[in-house]
Amino acid sequence: MAQLITPRELDRLLRTGSVRVLDVRYRLDHPDGSAEHLDGHVPGAVYVDMETELSRHGRPEDGRHPLPPTDALQAAARRWGIHDGDTVVIYDDDRSLGASRAWWLLTRSGLVDVRLLDGGLRAWIAAGLPLETGPVVPESGDVSLAPIAEPVLSIDEAAALAASGVLIDVRAAERYRGEVEPVDPIAGHIPGAANLPTGAYMDGERFRDAASLRELFRGVGIVDGVAAAAYCGSGVTAAQAVFAAELAGLRLGIYPGSWSQWTNTPGRPIATGAAPAEITATV
């Protein structure tokens, strides 16, 4: 179940030494946040790299951020200093987009107590809490991770869900409609998918309350008992939607290949415009 922790609660945990903090600053236009981490981070926070630790390199048809293998993720988690049974708190500085990817990977690999910092780094600073500078290199942890314990959608399963259940595209509306595409080969969306952009779940840097989130998901047909999943550009920010759904008491799967895989796979239909069923091109 998704969990949030306030800056003051995290500050108290840090004083007891019973928490491992991860800094996952990542943006589409600035994927390497290591310099910003060195300039100032929550005390003791270890920098986590999206490109090399929370994903693996693959072929174009695998998507831009394929899921890392279990052994590689476990090696990274040990580098971060995580031990079995640790409380882990994750944050970033952009609507918990990168942080949610780390949360999803760790919880689906067997860690129980993984939380997101409510409001991210900006909330920590706004609370008047101190920052630390320089690198953080903890002693190696001994955490054991398991293979991801829930199904993730293949490209064919995503297509089927768009036709028979609810598949949501969490990219910006203009990318969904096919008006712009700054990264991937073709603009548009998966036919049948609804659009529920990442910012919809948030009030600034904080997640909306559970009731508001349930109403938001209900608006695209996601209610108890309905098969539903999310995709984005490369499988990273879809995890934020999963976190928001769990805050609302709902279940949401992920299509990790996302739009980057879809548009690099020949023969896949492309829809544009606001009407989900409008198919206007084929890859």
Q: Alpha-carbon distance 131 to 145, whole Å?
A: 30
Kindly provide the b/e burial profile for residues 137-160, where b requires at least 16 CB atoms within 10 angstroms of the residue's own CB.
eeeebebebeebeeebbebeebbe
For residue 132, what is the DSSP state? B
Active site residue 38: no
Residue 179 structure tokens: 């008006």
C-alpha to C-alpha distances, 3 to 43, 79, 144, 257, nearest whole angstrom: 21, 23, 21, 26
Helix (H) or strand (E) holding 134: none
Q: Alpha-carbon distance 272 to 270, whole Å?
A: 7
Tokens 């991210």 correspond to 120
The three-state secondary structure class of 230 is: strand
Q: Alpha-carbon distance 6 to 208, whole Å?
A: 14
Q: Alpha-carbon distance 41 to 132, whole Å?
A: 5
Q: Which of 143, 190, 232, 247 is catalytic?
A: 232
Any idea of the CA torsion for 259, 205, 207, 55, to the nearest 10 degrees?
40
Q: Alpha-carbon distance 25 to 78, whole Å?
A: 19
Q: Alpha-carbon distance 257 to 253, whole Å?
A: 12
Enzyme catalytic residues = 232
